Amino acid sequence: MLPTCVIMKAIYAGFPKTGTKTIEAVFREFGYNTYDFLENSYYLGKDWRRIIKDGGTVEDFRRMYKDVDAVVDGPCFMFWEEILEAFPEAKIIFSVRDEESWLPSFKKQIRSLATNHMYVLMQVLSYSGWRHFQFSNACALVQLGSTINWPWCEYPYSPTVWRRIYRNHNNYVLHVSTYGCNNIYSNILQDVF
């Protein structure tokens, strides 16, 4: 018989395009109930929009992830520390990709959101799609430093800003792992993906 409350086992703190899909597949192979970007959007999008706009509490994160084993991708990687505070037994998994290969890969993924006509139509023609757009836009504010007004618009591309956000995030995770958090497992990836 399964327990009624699952204790979070792993938080992936790496930026998108640093192995998130591979880590997600590993977590699922372990049998972990894993929340990726789409699960966060569908099940917790309203909570995340509120947290990004107004802030959240430890109790919010405990409630949101009470039956989840692992989280990957946005917006969780940006809020890994808050999720860890709610689940202090969780292990942090972290990977860094070479910045020069990461940036064009990330740009391509972000650009594909505005150029995939079915994805755009889904967001415009359905209520759940519009909610997903609102969630994605809130995440973009944290991850990219900008938002868009409509699903068919492209997020402003600023390599300087995107690199700075990427560097700041990575440096902070590595700093915390060096000076105070002993449950972070990191891997520096060199052109693997």
Query: What is the pTM assigned to this prediction?
Result: 0.88
The arrangement of secondary structure in 10-98+172-189, i.e. its CATH architecture, is 3-Layer(aba) Sandwich (3.40)
Contact 144, 165 (CB under 8 A): yes
How far apart are the C-alpha atoms of 32 and 6, rounded to whole Å?
10
Q: How many other C-beta atoms can be found within 10 angstroms of the C-beta atom of residue 28?
A: 14
Task: Copy the structure tokens of residue 7.
Answer: 């204790």
Q: How many other C-beta atoms can be found within 10 angstroms of the C-beta atom of residue 96?
A: 22
**What is the per-residue pLDDT across 137-186, written as a single tens digit (0 to 9) for each?**
999 999 999 999 999 898 999 999 999 999 999 999 998 877 655 556 65
**What is the per-residue pLDDT across 112-131, written as a single tens digit (0 to 9) for each?**
988 999 999 999 999 999 99
User: Quick check: bond before 151 cis, omega within 30?
Assistant: no
How many helices (DSSP H) and strands (DSSP E) are in the chain? Answer: 8, 5
CA distances from 66 to 31, 58, 83 (A): 16, 12, 11
How far apart are the C-alpha atoms of 18 and 169, rounded to whole Å?
13
Helix or strand holding residue 74 (H, E): none
Mean pLDDT of the chain: 90
**What is the per-residue pLDDT across 5-46, written as a single tens digit (0 to 9) for each?**
678 999 999 999 999 999 999 999 999 999 999 999 999 999
How far apart are the C-alpha atoms of 160 and 158, rounded to whole Å?
5
